């Protein structure tokens, strides 16, 4: 059980502490023009407070709270509920599956026989002779 002193420190961390909020780094530019990092909108707690009441933080995160653990006034760790983590992983897996399918289609197109012939001709070409355009099969054009 956390002592009253530690509980009050954690309570202060959740009431909108200014710790970890970066100073504006661009001089002469309005604050609205500088993009705000996504972690700035999350609840921030110091690493010491997180260490002292880790079980309490885990319970809050299980109930849906997203928080950032700060170390030396910089974001170090983001804690999110497991279901949100799994949904993020599934989205990336779906993107990877789509990318894999696209790669396989491109690879099969590159393995077509006519592509192999053209590649072989390109590597067999002699560099001391001017390139010759491939001739189309069929009748010669009138006027040539």
**Do residues 70 and 93 both lie within one domain?**
no
46 in a domain, yes or no?
Answer: yes
Spatial separation of the C-alpha atoms in residues 113 and 119, rounded to whole Å: 10
43 in a domain, yes or no?
Answer: yes
- Could you tell me the pLDDT band of residue 140, with boundaries at 50, 70 and 90? low
8 A C-beta contact, residue 87 and residue 45? no
Mean pLDDT for the stretch of residues 36-62: 89
> Can you read off the two tokens belonging to residue 131?
């390139």
Q: Which domain holds residue 113?
A: 84-124
With a CB cutoff of 8 Å and minimum separation 6, the contacts of 81 are 61, 62, 63, 64, 66
32 in a domain, yes or no?
Answer: no
pTM above 0.85, yes or no: no
With a CB cutoff of 8 Å and minimum separation 6, the contacts of 45 are 10, 13, 14, 57, 67, 68, 69, 70
pLDDT of residue 82: 93
pLDDT of residue 120: 79
Q: How many domains does the chain have?
A: 2
1 in a domain, yes or no?
Answer: no
Mean pLDDT for the stretch of residues 21-25: 52
* pLDDT exceeds 90 at position 13: no
Pick the last residue of a domain from 65, 80, 95.
80
3 in a domain, yes or no?
Answer: no
Q: Which residue has the higher pLDDT, 65 or 37?
A: 65
134 in a domain, yes or no?
Answer: no
**Do residues 74 and 88 both lie within one domain?**
no
**Do residues 46 and 70 both lie within one domain?**
yes
Q: If we measure between CA atoms, which residue out of 67, 62, 57 comes closest to residue 19?
A: 67
**Do residues 71 and 95 both lie within one domain?**
no
* pLDDT exceeds 90 at position 89: no
Q: Which residue has the higher pLDDT, 116 or 34?
A: 116
């Amino acid at each position: 059980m956390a002592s009253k002193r530690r509980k009050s420190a954690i309570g202060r961390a959740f009431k909108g502490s200014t710790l970890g909020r970066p100073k504006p780094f661009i001089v002469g530019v309005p604050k609205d023009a500088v993009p705000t990092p996504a972690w700035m909108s999350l609840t921030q707690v110091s690493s010491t407070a997180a260490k002292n009441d880790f079980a309490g933080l885990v319970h809050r995160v299980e109930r849906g709270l997203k928080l950032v653990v700060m170390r030396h006034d910089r974001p170090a760790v983001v804690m999110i509920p497991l279901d949100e983590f799994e949904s993020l992983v599934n989205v990336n897996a779906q993107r990877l599956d789509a990318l894999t399918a696209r790669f396989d289609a491109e690879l099969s197109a590159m393995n077509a026989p006519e592509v192999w012939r053209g590649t072989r001709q390109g590597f067999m070409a002699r560099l001391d002779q001017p390139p010759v355009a491939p001739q189309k099969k069929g009748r010669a054009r009138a006027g040539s």
